[in-house]
Structure 1
């Protein structure tokens, strides 16, 4: 299974205005840097939590359908399945009916269950594509407050302590940020 990001989120969980207020910045001459740090902090928090914060489109690519009829998705939370297709023997995409796949959002990790008829697979690799939308919601308001705060603190830390602090944080999140992310981490067995 290969997850492919199709596009970045249309918004960030923290706005430039919120970050400027948090940092007590009156001028906007460093907005480009601050916007980059907010994006980088979101990516770091998403990786640490194992969750997408703002809705973003992804494609899940599979070679074949699982024998048990359940696909455990590597992303969480999942808002919806947008489309699915199977490539036939000629390499043409054949749509999968919406009723053939059911999303179980309550499972962690989320599951897609095969619940109907599926088109015939025609190639050995990358035969199945499922387009999904992952994230808490389309706006920052949908993101849990502790995760938004973690993004804000991390971006502010990188802004204030420019230099090699980002490389130190890549090895281990600062303890205050890690504590905010901890309740949202996906467990692994």
Structure 2
């Protein structure tokens, strides 16, 4: 299984002004904006860390999931939520020939574990040595104001910690601060059986 992010979060979607206010950085100086690249990096790192913990995309973007085999012949869980749109499902053989099979599948939305399901019978068989590519969009929304308040606050707290410890060179870094872990706990997905039926 390989999950690839096809599109990235646009810089305009990041809450730079809100983050600057959260850090209580000064304003009115001639070099205002000189730190924006670093601040954007801290926000992106915090978003990635939180998404990794909760298996959810915060801001909407496109992904492609490549599989060499279905989990079972009837349904296939998707590794990230919430999935808003299924763009395509394509079978690719060893020669690179592509067959569109989107009509044989349907998206079953779920906040914890969305899945692809066969419309009738089973999922289309993947060619021997080939793969299936599932293209979809996932995320709470395109804008920062569409995020649940607790997740938005968790990003701000974690990004602020990255900013404050930027000169520590890793000394005393905790895996995830308690306040951030508390905010994201209800969004975590419990997985059992290693993803197998």
Question: Equivalent residue for 1:188?
Answer: 191
**C-alpha distance in 2 between matches for 1:176 and 1:118:** 43
**C-alpha distance in 1 between matches for 2:162 and 2:119:** 47
Secondary structure in 2 matching 1:57? strand
TM-score (norm 1): 0.86
Secondary structure in 2 matching 1:122? coil
Whether 1:174 and 2:177 are equivalent positions in the alignment is yes
Shift of 1:123: 3.8
- Contact kept, 8 Å, 1:12 with 1:38, in 2: the verdict is no
**C-alpha distance in 1 between matches for 2:180 and 2:157:** 7
Aligned alpha-carbon RMSD (Å): 2.4
Q: How does 1:2-41 map to 2 (within 5 A)?
A: 2-11=2-11, 14-25=14-25, 26=27, 27-41=32-46
Shift of 1:108: 2.8
Q: Report the count of equivalent residues.
A: 186
Shift of 1:52: 0.9
- Contact kept, 8 Å, 1:48 with 1:185, in 2: the verdict is yes
**C-alpha distance in 1 between matches for 2:158 and 2:12:** 14
Q: How does 1:138-149 map to 2 (within 5 A)?
A: 138-149=142-153
Point out where structure 2 has 5 or more consecutive residues left out of the alignment. 193-197
Point out where structure 1 has 5 or more consecutive residues left out of the alignment. none
Secondary structure in 2 matching 1:82? strand
TM-score (norm 2): 0.83
- Contact kept, 8 Å, 2:104 with 2:124, in 1: the verdict is no
Shift of 1:91: 2.4
The verdict on how the C-alpha distance between 1:43 and 1:167 changes in structure 2, with shifts beyond 3 A counting, is farther
